[in-house]
Amino acid sequence: MAHMIIGGKTCQAVSGETLEVRSPVDGQVFEHIPRGQAADIDLAVRAARAALSSDWGKLNASERGRLMMKLSHLVTEHGEELALLEAKDTGKPMTTARNDMIVLARYFEFYGGAADKVHGEVIPFLNGYQVNLLREPLGVTAHIIPWNYPAQMMGRSIAPALAMGNAVVVKPAEDACMSCLRIAELALEAGFPAGALNIVSGLGEEAGAALSNHPDINFISFTGSNEVGVLIQQAAARHAVKCTLELGGKSPHVVFEDANLELAAATVVRGIIQNTGQTCTAGSRLLVQQSIHDKFVALVAEKFKQVRVGTPEMNLDCGPVVNPTQQQRVNRFIEQAKAAGLPVLAQGQIDPGVPAGGYYVMPTFFGNVPADNALAQQEVFGPVLAAMPFTDEAQGIALANGTEFGLLAAVWTENGGRQQRVAKALKCGQV
């Protein structure tokens, strides 16, 4: 049975209740986790608050950095164990899981190195005055983690918080949290003082809601669905604390006639099948200039047909999706697109050796998707790619910007002026 960590000690939920953990590979229960609820969250927030005025709060920045470096080394040493756990819990291919652990170790390394290099400022003011701007920790920070890259997302969320001396409370996703619980154990082993890093497993609407609504937290970091993101923002507003949200995407590739088509095609396929499409920045829309449309789409289709789905051990391109809800969601999008008459340009293949009961979906590439179709507007969060043509730069930009999302985009052209122009015109966080 897995356990949580509160105040430097491993523990079960106050209620004693547990939740089953199923592997998406075969749908079988392989573990149980504590079903943390409001009482557990309260203990974790209190432990974090207490840590700020005891051992953890007294460490200087370079000592915090050293602890994080130690945690980074431990993650690397336990990389294979963590990757196996992550693969079983999420279904991702072993290569991806191993890579995730390399990234996790780098988050602790990077922010560990940064710990003693974030300085204040001295600001000029009236004669006889000196204004010192200091960088202080926020206090107790809450971290709600998604299930698509559990270990990586936990690292990305808590490493900067710990580097700056905050005490953290983590609520990992009920669908995949085994690696997160293990990382918290490794942090204890690295020597993080009691209460610096607390973790409470449980359901979103129980432990997650209790954490985001707790009156004694100072900051919330959330990655997940738009719906819950809005709830988090409301909770943060009620207590007048800051939050950062990373939500959904419907990210476009905009491919112009002068692009390096071979490179673009390979990247487009990788960008939608990575993590079986369960990536907020997945390139799920393919906008192709009319003059090269048929040729380029055929090139992508040829590569898309090679996509193979299997178990983590088979180590193919895709694994299963995380749970039956995601499986139904992806299948519903595919069925609706087919029913609407959208042409299927290519499909991958599910390895015939996958266990029955696993949550496998068919990678599918649709062509001529109208801009107002669900496939062009809504986040599928699965290996489903939607192509559509555009005539000129202006129309390409308009289509790319024509969703409610704005996370990431890619521009494929060898023309430097166009790269700059289009990147600037795209309304999204990263190009």
Q: Which of 235, 222, 210, 160 is nearest to 44 (CA)?
A: 210
Q: Based on the shown chain and the rule CB under 6 A, indicate whether residue 280 belongs to the binding site for ligand NAI.
A: yes
- Which of 59, 231, 261, 374 is in the footprint of ligand NAI by CB under 6 A? 231
> Which of 102-110, 241-249, 300-308, 344-352 is the region at the interface with ligand NAI (rule: CB under 6 A)?
241-249
- The two three-digit tokens of residue 64, written as one number: 């915090």
> Which of 115-123, 246-254, 354-362, 415-423 is the region at the interface with ligand NAI (rule: CB under 6 A)?
246-254
- Which of 194, 228, 282, 318 is in the footprint of ligand NAI by CB under 6 A? 228
Residue 4 has phi, psi (to 5 degrees) of -95, 170
Residue nearest to ligand NAI (CB): 204
CB of residue 113 vs ligand NAI: minimum separation in angstroms? 26
CB of residue 154 vs ligand NAI: minimum separation in angstroms? 10
Strands 4-6 and 9-11: antiparallel
User: What DSSP state is assigned to residue 207?
Assistant: I
> Which of 240-248, 351-359, 368-376, 421-429 is the region at the interface with ligand NAI (rule: CB under 6 A)?
240-248
CB of residue 159 vs ligand NAI: minimum separation in angstroms? 17
Task: Return the residues of window 156-185 that contact ligand NAI according to CB under 6 A.
Answer: 171, 173-174
Q: Based on the shown chain and the rule CB under 6 A, indicate whether residue 283 belongs to the binding site for ligand NAI.
A: no
Is 13 strand, coil or helix?
A: coil
Strand ranges (DSSP E) for 105-247?
121-123, 131-133, 140-144, 167-171, 197-199, 219-223, 242-246
Binding residues with ligand NAI: total (CB under 6 A):
25
User: Which residues, at least 6 apart from 264, have a Cβ–Cβ distance to it below 8 Å?
Assistant: 253, 255, 296, 412
Q: Based on the shown chain and the rule CB under 6 A, indicate whether residue 101 belongs to the binding site for ligand NAI.
A: no
CB of residue 361 vs ligand NAI: minimum separation in angstroms? 12
Strand ranges (DSSP E) for 277-383?
283-289, 308-309, 344-347, 349-350, 364-366
CB of residue 147 vs ligand NAI: minimum separation in angstroms? 6
The interface mask with ligand NAI, positions 385-414, x = CB under 6 A, is: ------------------------------
Active site residues: 246, 280
Residue 412 has phi, psi (to 5 degrees) of -110, 105
Q: Which of 340, 344, 345 is nearest to 370 (CA)?
A: 340
- The two three-digit tokens of residue 218, written as one number: 């100072």
Q: Based on the shown chain and the rule CB under 6 A, indicate whether residue 381 belongs to the binding site for ligand NAI.
A: yes
Cα distance between residue 374 and residue 394, in whole Å: 23
Residue 93 has phi, psi (to 5 degrees) of -60, 150
Q: Based on the shown chain and the rule CB under 6 A, indicate whether residue 41 belongs to the binding site for ligand NAI.
A: no
Residues that bind ligand NAI (CB under 6 A): 144-146, 148, 171, 173-174, 204-205, 208-209, 212, 223-225, 228, 231, 246-248, 280, 326, 329, 379, 381
